[in-house]
A = this chain, B = another copy of it.
């Protein structure tokens, strides 16, 4: 589909599985990350997430979201730009992301 210069492995759109997505979203930390990403269209650096967790745990969660197909991660210097794969998720599971984000915190 789209060709993007990356070195981090991402599942293609047709490799995304609903169970993996749901499992990725079921964690409170990852859900917070997804909410933050949804509120800033340009994507965010890993370090900008305000979370009471260690760096390695943050890496772990961003990796989990990436491998589930929920986010895209792009190197940018020493940082990683993280963006929601909103188009893919919306076309695979229309309404799912909206429903999740509609939840009262």
Residues of A with Cβ closer than 8 Å to B? 18-19, 22-23, 25-28, 31, 92-100, 102-103
A28 to chain B: which residues have CB within 8 Å? Answer: 19
> B22 to A22, Cβ gap below 8 A?
yes
- 18 A–B contact pairs at CB < 8 A? A18-B31, A22-B26, A22-B31, A22-B100, A25-B26, A26-B26, A92-B102, A93-B100, A93-B102, A93-B103, A94-B95, A94-B98, A94-B99, A94-B102, A95-B98, A96-B98, A97-B99, A99-B99
In the bound assembly, the distance between CA atoms of A19 and B100 in angstroms comes to 9
> A26 to B19, Cβ gap below 8 A?
yes
Least CB separation from A90: chain B residue: B99
